[in-house]
Amino acid sequence: MENFKTEIRFFSIPEWKKEEKYLREQHKKGWEFVAVNGLCLYHFKKCEPKDMIYQLDYNPDSIYQKYEYIQLFSDCGWEYLQNYVGYSYFRKAASEMEKTEEEIFCDDASRLDMMKRVFAGRMIPLVVMFFSIIIPQIIMQSRVHTPFNYGLLVFFCVMFVVYLVMFIAFAIPYWKYYKSAHKK
C-alpha cells in the first residue's frame, strides 16, 4: 500500500490553476496522479520524481466526440488522463515543452472561452436554483411564524450566504482574468 496514496483536496470552480500546480508538485515529489473521484479524492502512485505539467480543460461536451477531442491534444504531445465533472485532465513532461511555458490554451481568448463554458455549465444552474428556490423559500418561511419555519428560514439564509460566496468566488477571478486579457 506504500506505493499508492489518496488525498482529499477541494478546488472550487475557478481554482483549476491551483489544482494544476498541486498535481505538478505531487509529481515532483514522486507521486504520479492516477485519478480523482468521489468527493475530491485524489489518487496517486509512487513514481520517480519528475517535472510534469498538468493542464485541465473544462469541456463537458468532449464525451460526445471523445476520440477526436483526445486526439487533438495527443497530437500536441499531451497525455489524456481522465474526465471528472466536466474537466479533462492532461499532462506532459516539462522537458517536452517549448522554450516558453506552453499551455493547452495558447491565447487569452481560448482561456476566456473555457471560463465561459465553466460559467454556462456550472454557474448558470446555480443561479437558476438561487432565484427559483433559495430566494422564494426565504420569503415564504419569513411569513410563517412557527419554530419549524424559523429553522427552515435559518437554513435557507445560510444557503443564501453559501451561494453568494460561490458566486463571488467565481466572479472575482473571472473578472480579473477578463480585464487582464483585454488589456493586452
Give the per-residue pLDDT at 109: 67
Among 37, 64, 96, identify where a domain stops. 96
Q: Domain check: are 92 and 11 in the same one?
A: yes
Give the per-residue pLDDT at 35: 95
Q: Would 56 be classed as within a structural domain?
A: yes
| Domain span at 112 | 108-183
Q: Domain check: are 136 and 161 in the same one?
A: yes
Q: Would 103 be classed as within a structural domain?
A: no
Give the per-residue pLDDT at 62: 61
pLDDT in tens, 4-15: 999 999 887 677
**What residues contact residue 31 under an 8 Å CB cut-off, 6+ apart?**
5, 44, 45, 46, 47
Asked which of 29-38, 143-152, 165-174 is least confident by mean pLDDT, the reply is 165-174
User: 3-state secondary structure string, 103-119?
Assistant: CCCCCHHHHHHHHHHHH
Q: Domain check: are 75 and 114 in the same one?
A: no
The whole-number average pLDDT for the span 63-81 is 85
Give the per-residue pLDDT at 30: 96
Give the per-residue pLDDT at 3: 92
Q: Would 101 be classed as within a structural domain?
A: no
Among 96, 127, 149, identify where a domain stops. 96
Whether the CB-CB separation of 33 and 81 falls below 8 Å is answered with yes
**Number of domains making up the chain:** 2
Give the per-residue pLDDT at 184: 57
Give the per-residue pLDDT at 181: 65
Q: Domain check: are 139 and 66 in the same one?
A: no
Q: Domain check: are 89 and 168 in the same one?
A: no
Q: Which three cell numbers stand for residue 125?
A: 444552474
Q: Domain check: are 84 and 124 in the same one?
A: no
Give the per-residue pLDDT at 115: 72
Strands (E), the chain: 4-8, 31-37, 41-46, 52-58, 79-84, 87-93
Q: Would 162 be classed as within a structural domain?
A: yes
Give the per-residue pLDDT at 1: 56
Q: Would 102 be classed as within a structural domain?
A: no
Q: Domain check: are 115 and 87 in the same one?
A: no
Q: Domain check: are 51 and 77 in the same one?
A: yes
Q: At CA 7, angle to CA 76 and CA 53, rounded to 5? A: 20
Q: Which three cell numbers stand for residue 31?
A: 507521486
Q: Domain check: are 22 and 92 in the same one?
A: yes
The whole-number average pLDDT for the span 161-166 is 88
pLDDT in tens, 79-131: 999 988 878 899 999 988 765 555 665 556 666 777 777 777 767 888 888 88
Residue 68 has pLDDT above 80, yes or no: yes
